[in-house]
């Protein structure tokens, strides 16, 4: 099995899209991620997986905190920006919640304190205890087979097939 087969297989698993953010003082860093998992209710724990080459890795280690913003259907450009797929030097106004930078217009924000980290292969898993939650109405941005989708378009495809 080659890497492409593995990635193609993982691409069959549909996910939402998040932007992970963290900050030390005025400095804010964001990164698009779909490796996000709800882990435990008591205590309230979530998990993110950060690649060994990502700048985000050291930023989270430094701050000991991260925030997760669940992107809305109209935030594909935001996802591309924080995945390094748009590089036009644009700046972005973050919203502040629980003293953490988060993405304006997202469906939800979680702020988390890192309670454990685990190096696994070429990624580090950060388990975060959820400090606070803010939710908004809207439809989610969806990722499937390396492409962005919306719930409505998936429903339309099903109806027309």
| Interface residues toward ligand NAD, by CB under 6 A | 7, 10-11, 34-35, 49, 51, 83, 146
- Judged by beta carbon, residue 51 or residue 64, the one nearer ligand NAD is 51
Phi then psi for residue 4, to 5 deg, are -65, -40
The yes or no reply on residue 12 touching ligand FAD (CB under 6 A) is: no
The rounded distance, in Å, linking the Cα atoms of 135 and 99 is: 16
The rounded distance, in Å, linking the Cα atoms of 105 and 71 is: 8
7 binds, among ligand FAD, ligand NAD, none (CB under 5 to 8 A by kind): ligand NAD
Which distant-in-sequence residues (6+ apart) come within 8 Å of 22 by Cβ? 28, 29, 56, 59, 60, 63, 65, 66, 67, 100, 101
Minimum distance, C-beta of residue 156 to ligand FAD, in the bound complex (Å): 22
Minimum distance, C-beta of residue 160 to ligand FAD, in the bound complex (Å): 26
The rounded distance, in Å, linking the Cα atoms of 9 and 67 is: 28
The rounded distance, in Å, linking the Cα atoms of 52 and 161 is: 41
Binder of ligand FAD out of 45, 47, 83, 114 (CB under 6 A): 83
The rounded distance, in Å, linking the Cα atoms of 12 and 23 is: 33
- Judged by beta carbon, residue 33 or residue 102, the one nearer ligand NAD is 33
Binder of ligand FAD out of 22, 32, 76, 111 (CB under 6 A): 32
The yes or no reply on residue 54 touching ligand FAD (CB under 6 A) is: yes
Catalog residues that contact ligand FAD under the rule CB under 6 A: 17, 28-35, 49-51, 54-56, 79, 81-84, 87, 91-92, 143
């Amino acid at each position: 099995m080659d890497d492409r087969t593995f990635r193609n297989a993982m691409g069959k698993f549909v996910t939402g899209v998040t932007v992970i953010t963290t900050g030390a003082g005025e400095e804010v860093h964001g990164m698009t991620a779909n490796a996000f998992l709800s882990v435990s209710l008591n205590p309230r724990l979530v998990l993110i997986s950060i690649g060994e080459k990502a700048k985000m890795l050291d930023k989270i280690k430094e701050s000991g905190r991260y925030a997760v913003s669940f992107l809305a259907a109209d935030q594909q450009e935001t996802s591309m920006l924080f995945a390094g797929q748009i590089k036009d030097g644009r700046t972005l106004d973050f919203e502040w919640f629980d003293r953490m930078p988060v993405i304006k217009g997202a469906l939800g924000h979680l702020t988390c304190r890192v309670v454990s980290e685990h190096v696994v292969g070429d990624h580090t898993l950060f388990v975060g205890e959820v400090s606070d939650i803010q939710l908004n109405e809207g439809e989610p941005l969806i990722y499937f087979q390396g492409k962005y989708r919306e719930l409505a378009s998936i429903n339309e495809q099903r109806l027309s097939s």
